[in-house]
Amino acid sequence: MRALLLIVLVSQLTFAQKAVPLDVKVKEFDAYILKAQKEWDVPGLAVAVVKDGKVILSKGYGLKELGTTNTVDSKTLFQCASTTKAMTATCMGILVDEGKVKWNDPVVKHFPEFLLYDPFVTREITIRDLFVHDTGLGNADFLWGIMDIPSDEVLRKMRDVKPTYSLRSGFIYQNIFYLVAGKVIEKVSGKPWNVFINDRVFQPLAMTRTYPTTKEASQENRTKPHYKIENVNTVIQHTIADEIGPAGSVWSCADDMAKWMSVMIDSSKYPGGRLLSANTWREMFKPQVLAPIGFYPTTRLTKPNWTTYGLGWFQHDYKGRKINMHTGSLAGSIAIHAQLPDEHLGIYVFGNMDHAEVRHALLYKAFDHFALGGTRDWSTDFKNLYTGLWQAEEKAERDFEAKRALNTKASFPIEAYAGEYSDPLYGTLVLTVEGGRLVAVANNFLKASFDHWHYDTFRGWYDKKWYGKGNLNFELGTDGKIAIVDFDGFKFKKAVKLP
């Protein structure tokens, strides 16, 4: 027995001698971030890590804007994008705790004006359904992506969106229902979502550099988004998500996200009390629906056994532990928030480069480095993975271009294609001829210019070049005249001129 105890004591002493001090581990991770930033060619990052209730890292890396000397720091504002969703779910949880709403209440109980294409779904959809992407509707981001309309008009148009699958029979990521959740919060609390989240979440947690919308966000110390256009890192315009605010409009910084993470990991406790009851906090992170295991390409390497979605959180297993996480993506801006609850560990990453998937690399590296062990170079491995995916996309584009039928002519002179086209759901598309090209303007908002490509197809760049190239495909009616234009999957009918 004494010999066994001696072996145990020696083993423990050896482990203690090999244990790396936390400050050293933080320095090692800091160096890894710098290396990964360069490997992924990201202009600027901001990273926060919390462990056991303490902020062990909150720091900026690189530049807020290429071509300047303006460096990122821990107070630089970035777009939270879809990591906002967990905040909106927390707002609803607060109202659940106050007894003003229940997760399984029908939406129409609190928002009677709510109306979808299918009366059954309108009647049956619950508050919980708004948060878990199981409503039966496909992606409806065109309601704010190709038109500039207020949020109430976005919700009104939802009644014209036909269902893609049956209620609760699948999973298709859906931003608009978080906007519906925001409207319910307003109806129940008497405060607009942006006011409620500021009063009940940001202010109690002393998140003084966090703003619900772009309109409200400070202009001071703010990053610029970047996109690689024809392989050149280019500063672009911010995508404004204010009209679907509860789904992704919050702006914040690394320091404030460290506060938010600490509270959410510690069952929503903060110095002034707690945001949510213990039961509601557990409900937030309880798996609600199955999510497609390949939703994130990273699963090709992490190989989870299961993937689920909670109330505003993706979830999966990693090295036998549960991860709660969510990405955020708007044109030129990225974010990720991930928690390893068993280890009281969380990481938040901001970036100002479109789909800079270094965010995933830093997530798994942090969990390995500060908790689970392992020396895998996730940055290199994910870079190889995504490089392959990007190359496949580029090949698909080249293959498409190669299918062009040369030396063909359009059915009509270019002026015949001009005019006004419309659709009850997609709005209005106006085509004009400028300098021998067709110029398309959708809903007085989205613009692109097209040259004849082949037959009755025209192809060209969007004015916002980070949208890439688009196509106009014209269809003729039985009378041989132009009847319909397909604008990158959105079909508009040509307006008939009355005599």
What's the burial of 396, exposed, middle or buried (CB within 10 Å: 0-12/13-18/19+)? Answer: exposed
The CATH 2.40.128.600 domain(s) of the chain lie at 414-494
- pLDDT, residue 14, reads 39
pLDDT tens-digit readout, 36-52: 999 999 999 999 999 99
> Does the structure show a pLDDT above 70 at 396?
yes
- pLDDT, residue 233, reads 95
Query: Distance (Å, rounded) from C-alpha 71 to C-alpha 350?
Result: 14
497 — pLDDT class (breaks 50, 70, 90) = low
Mean of the pLDDT values across residues 137-148?
Answer: 93
* Cβ atoms within 10 Å of 296's Cβ, excluding its own: 18
Arithmetic mean of pLDDT over the chain: 95
> Does the structure show a pLDDT above 60 at 253?
yes
Between 3.10.150.10, 3.90.1170.50, 3.30.70.1710, 3.40.710.10, what CATH number should domain 21-393 receive? 3.40.710.10
Q: Are the C-beta atoms of residues 255 and 57 closer than 8 Å to each other?
A: no
pLDDT tens-digit readout, 288-304: 999 999 999 999 999 99
The CATH 3.40.710.10 domain(s) of the chain lie at 21-393
Which residue type occupies 48?
A: A
> Does the structure show a pLDDT above 70 at 18?
no
Note the pTM of the prediction, 2 decimals: 0.94
Query: Distance (Å, rounded) from C-alpha 360 to C-alpha 58?
Result: 18
Mean of the pLDDT values across residues 255-270?
Answer: 97
> Does the structure show a pLDDT above 90 at 205?
yes
Give CA torsion, residues 182, 183, 187, 192, to 10 deg: 60
495 — pLDDT class (breaks 50, 70, 90) = confident
Top CATH class of 414-494 equals mainly beta
Beta strand ranges found along 383-445 (DSSP E):
419-423, 427-434, 437-442
Mean of the pLDDT values across residues 316-332?
Answer: 98
Q: Are the C-beta atoms of residues 433 and 452 closer than 8 Å to each other?
A: no
Pull the structure tokens for residue 70. Answer: 């303006």
- pLDDT, residue 19, reads 83
2 — pLDDT class (breaks 50, 70, 90) = low
pLDDT tens-digit readout, 408-439: 999 999 999 999 999 999 999 999 999 999 99
Q: Are the C-beta atoms of residues 286 and 259 closer than 8 Å to each other?
A: no
Sheet with 44-51: strands ordered across: 54-62, 44-51, 345-351, 333-340, 321-330, 314-318, 307-309, 289-290
